[in-house]
Structure 1
């Protein structure tokens, strides 16, 4: 019994309170000492006890007032209850997010199934068509050969019959030993026999019997065996990390770089690319500056950007629409490298490259100091928009198009297209964020088809969507072919021209989705691109494409043949620092948005510099899409200022 008293756990069950004291509210009575009120708490035994228990079994145990202990435990329980309750919204939000991801995963799977079925159905159609063509070609070739040989055979058989008939008559006359028969036969048959004997007959074959089938199927089998691929990664935002000088401090006007390393749920580095990453730099006034994300195809990505003014900025890096580890990051932008603190290790990340993008140069925005050309009259008609997500507000607007009645804006980060009258009055908008057909993930380019349909390049969904004029989804094209469609246009045949920024190619489709032709590759040659952005079509149905990182504009025939290029890297007249939007007026003059130099230049059809649009009254800040309204004015997406502007343009 004494041993039991010395053990902190020995009497816990014996001292358990069994019932409340009648009439005493929350008062308790002891289980062993009936009628005794429990007012103390044995700390080693963690049990409520009465005074008799204290002088007995719990004599050597420290005790506290039961009321104080209960208050302490009530407080502790309340804290734990609050902590658990506070956890519920996080769990519900995580569950909601997972349900969305699961739903999106299912939608993506169904969409890919549809694309696979469609692609292989088209292949079957192509194979069946080729089969029919080969069978028809065989039939025609056989028929031609058979006709020649059969005609030759018929001629020989006819001559054989004639010779046999005349020979029989002549033989009968000679056998009859009748002078009259010989005379008569000689007169009627003799000349025929001579003619038949001397007649030139087609005795040699006039055609051959060669019919062979050449089917080079082995290469096709290998191509089919490797046809298509399911692209994905196991990267998750919670483990993905970013590093580099561009995360901490950068200098006004100088490119900054951030390396993003994707990781899976266990923290292992992903080895493949193609993850969906977005990046936004928020300026002190709340506007958003865009940049360029390069996929190194090894699980790492590089975000390159350039800022134009000093201040405290923030950088949001998202993987699959979720912030990565540490995002958003705080940035300090200074006017010169001397103002920057010493760089930390890892600032010069492997694979880091700089590009001139979005730099507003000192001096004139429009020409070199040596020479100025008379500008087109400075006349801003109006500007529409501020940063936001409501109608008439934008977040990273990019593509611009114009119909006879309206101006259309591709509002990239708001996942919609907004439509305005030519006077700038808001009319409507459409678009639902998502990765299913009919939804928009990152609309960057927009065009209007002659039939009124609205064509949208969806950069992140890697396809082009077609909507009716009132925003109802009709179809998509390019899925499975496109890697990053940036700009769209329509040629004089009604074909859809797609500028693929990632693939560095231009695709031309029929509205039905059938590929007409494609051209281009990555590089700096005449027919190559380095980040092409937008396209326009002139009166000759020639395609004008802006080549962003090659700082030039290139012109191609409707069949994709290279015709000419103009522009070089610089600030002078006719030079570019990353051209983006492009349009062509009725005279064939080419209007180009010069993104890095924040200006709009005008060239003739041969690429000779003519003038510029003077935007000094309301300076541009990173112009992107550009178009001509139905009344001949220039409308441009001023992405840095989150608005679009319309300038009077004298054609």
Structure 2
């Protein structure tokens, strides 16, 4: 099939121009990269450049042994040049035809240059020897390429057709790659278009960043100078206080010296005998007194630090961060202000002063969110770090002094929910709690519980809630428990075998009190002098008793309906009694006078649903448990509602007690859950 030449408008002069000499090709040669150049141009180019590269694509070129002459001739370009020349007019070697003839495909072959055999000049190349990969004329097939075992000449048109089909397949693969490359060019153009705006944006960001650094450095300078000023003031105050203490000791010893010297030099014998012992005692006391004359102060210095902008520079004092200590006070509880204490120590391990700006704290909750902290100096070398966690889980507290991490920082702080501890006895050798009613705290801060279901008293470790002691209470309806000044337990019981039983710390029954005035003892509380107050629901009053059970007076007769638990705040001379039928708390003095009452039946704040356990804290706040709905409420000393806790797990709050570290222990019970819960409050 003959080739179809381009239309006139498609014959771009650039396509027929050599990229080196910028003239029409003269004997064009094809490089391996398929770019064509004049033979003479390539020969000149090869003399100027070694190793040779394509002038267009810079692809390295390895010439054949024959040099440029060994490259293949671009006959397609030659034919186009002939075609273009024929269009312009007949050349000396061409036949003149009409323009219409140019458009007829079967005549286009006339404009292909004829290829003649290099050995037989009069013969046209019409065969292709597949074995030799060489062209041949008719004469060659008789002599050099005779068909047989070594030669296989076929017509050029046949072999060309096969090659065209192969190339046609390659053409189909070229288009996708062309599109990919064209898209890449567009992408590069797009990025080039963004180059200048990117430069401008980066320039603006860089300027803003370094302005920010400058601001940070200025602020850091102000902070450091402020630290130096405050350190100077703090050290000056400490040194001045030390000076006053030393001068006071000096004045005392000087005075004693003067008095002693006057007595020796000028006193009569009688006078010396009169004051001699007193003077001797005073002087010996002063001389043997171990006074701390050391100031424990070393000069502070500015130290350089360029690792972090926020910590550039610092003030070096006599604090040794490796000896500083951090302690978390009480379990941290969600929603309550919590405290950790930092003690700044010197190299000798003694507490030492520092300025407040030198202590930096940072706390993060489990999600990594910063939690606000406050630092306050409480005393020499003691700092209080306060914070209010909003979620439970492990928090990280970072503490730095003079821009250095305190040993052990960051510290783990396990924030608990409320209640902070639930004690069921599950898994212990004595089994689970069964109907806990009364609860008290012994002299060691451990929690003692009356179990009505198991007819015993169980004592739990104050920190972990582990059982470490039990003793039996052989009565059917044990109710309340308290501890006297000697650490002995007093337990009330109701029913046929009612009474007030006293047990040793080890749980041995010492005696049973059953005075004639008693009928139905419920709650009991013991005063500091071991007098007792017992709530008696059958008498509808409270009994103030001597340690031996003798009645002192009856309190609340005619005012109480069904008293169940009682507590006394001796510092304020007030006794609190819960009345489950009246749904109130009554406050009497120990003389029996009603001071006030508060509460009514209901489920709102300040109202009660069968109030039971009651106690008070050192601040005079009144803590009351509800048997009906499990709420525990905190009231001000005058009975004003302040806070609600719970409902407790068992939904029946019975006895309540206050631990030495300020937690409320609540006895919780119903048919499905029996436990002691510890609540943080305030």
Shorter-chain TM-score category? Answer: 0.3 to 0.5
> Structure 2 length normalisation: TM-score?
0.37
Bigger radius of gyration? 2
> Structure 1 length normalisation: TM-score?
0.39
